Amino acid sequence: MEKEKSLMNRSVNRRSLLKTGALAGGAVAIGAGLASTATSAFADESKSRVTKGDIAILTFLSALEQVEADLWIQYAELGGATNQGLSPIDIPFKTGLAPDYITGLLVLDGDMPQYIVDNTDDEISHHRFLNNYLQSKGAKSIDLSSFAILPPSQVSGVPQNGRLTNLKQLTIDTSWWTRYRSDSANPDLGGTFENAVPDLAKGQHPAIPLSDADLGMDGAGNISNHLQAIANTAGFHFAFIEQGGSSLYPALAQKVTDVEVLRVLLSIGGSEIMHFQTWHDKAGNATNITDGNLTFPNLNIGVDPNTGATGAKVADSFQTNLIMPEPTIFLDPKLGPVSIIRPTSTAQGGAVASVASFVQDGLFLDPATGKNTGIVSVLMRLAEEADEAQRKL
């Protein structure tokens, strides 16, 4: 089978997305709160080390954190712990509304429900903090709520308010799995990587139960293969989402001018890396099952699920407990291998690349139209501004 293309090949700018129809939702009039990302306080940058570029980066990150908070809230509503533990961030909605779905998530790890709510309040805190920080610097905060029009799960008890993201029709790139295990390829240097679960990268798959019809157990207390496949899909999607943040923050940090803004990005970015490491570990526990056209392969038998190849190199690329970043080439192969976050270039892990990956994931698809909502054009504009930022000396 054809190897998955690298993020560089998948990363496209706004013009090419428009040309290929990926922005089929069309441009939507942007509210006053989105019309400008910086106030006149930044007109004379000689008076402040927080530059217009810094504000563009912070604004984009706040917007993307709102998107992530939205999808994590949906996961928490259905599969989150009901006893959430201590957190200064209030979660004003009911969690754990689909116990049978939780049964499937528990196969991945006994602490999955707690980890889900923890990840949820982290993303909520990131969006709130970045908005507060923007305002403290005289800039405008950002709110994408006007694009919350997508229908949530129909499982009993789930609030039927519109959402920013759609978790019912995902096409998930799982090449992050092999990318972090490669000792000889780096996406920033043109490396390409195979999917751990090839079927997830084809078609559209639900990561949440669509309705009560997806739930239920047999007489022995077992859930269906279909519901387990939904839980497995969620597990791989968790890692897909968080690996994006792991690369995005260091990529954009290289463009920041103000030292305090740099501190903000490095501090929040570190928590995203912790998220990814957790979900990378848990995804490896997904059971080897088949549901229709979706198969979760046994990744511990030394067989490449894409090509059928075998051998020691194949085993190292897919073995489930090899979750630490394998040392690989960085900057220049002559420097030798080093364990790193990858990618960290703007082309591979920058703002535009991140939006493009979310679009290709299907996060913004409207089931009623089969097209993306207007949020994509707004995110792409913000992403272009963030990527265009330049560090000033």
What pTM was computed for the model? 0.89
Give the pLDDT of residue 393. 82
Residue 302 has pLDDT above 90, yes or no: yes
Residues in the chain: 393
Ordered alpha helix ranges (H), 284-350:
312-318, 346-349
Which of 389, 334, 289 is CA-nearest to residue 45? 389
Query: Helices 52-79 and 225-253, interaxial angle, to 10°?
Result: 160
Q: How confident is the model at residue 11 (pLDDT cuts 50, 70, 90)?
A: very low
Q: How confident is the model at residue 347 (pLDDT cuts 50, 70, 90)?
A: confident
**Long-range pairs, 137-140, Cβ under 8 A, ≥24:** 137/41, 137/48, 137/50, 137/55, 138/39, 138/41, 138/42, 139/37, 139/38, 139/39, 139/41, 139/42, 139/55, 139/58, 139/59, 140/33, 140/36, 140/37, 140/38, 140/39, 140/59
Q: How confident is the model at residue 44 (pLDDT cuts 50, 70, 90)?
A: very low
The structure tokens listed for 148 are: 């919350």
Q: Are the beta carbons of 75 and 64 closer than 8 angstroms?
A: no
The residues, any chain, with a CB within 8 Å of residue 88's CB and separated by 6 or more, are none
Q: To the nearest whole number, what is the mean pLDDT of the chain? A: 89
Stated as kind and residue range, the H or E segment containing 290 is strand 290-291
DSSP string computed for 264-275: HHHHHHHHHHHH
Q: How confident is the model at residue 91 (pLDDT cuts 50, 70, 90)?
A: confident
Residue 41 has pLDDT above 50, yes or no: no
Residue 58 has pLDDT above 70, yes or no: yes
Share of the chain above pLDDT 70, in %: 86
In one-letter notation, the amino acid at residue 264 is V
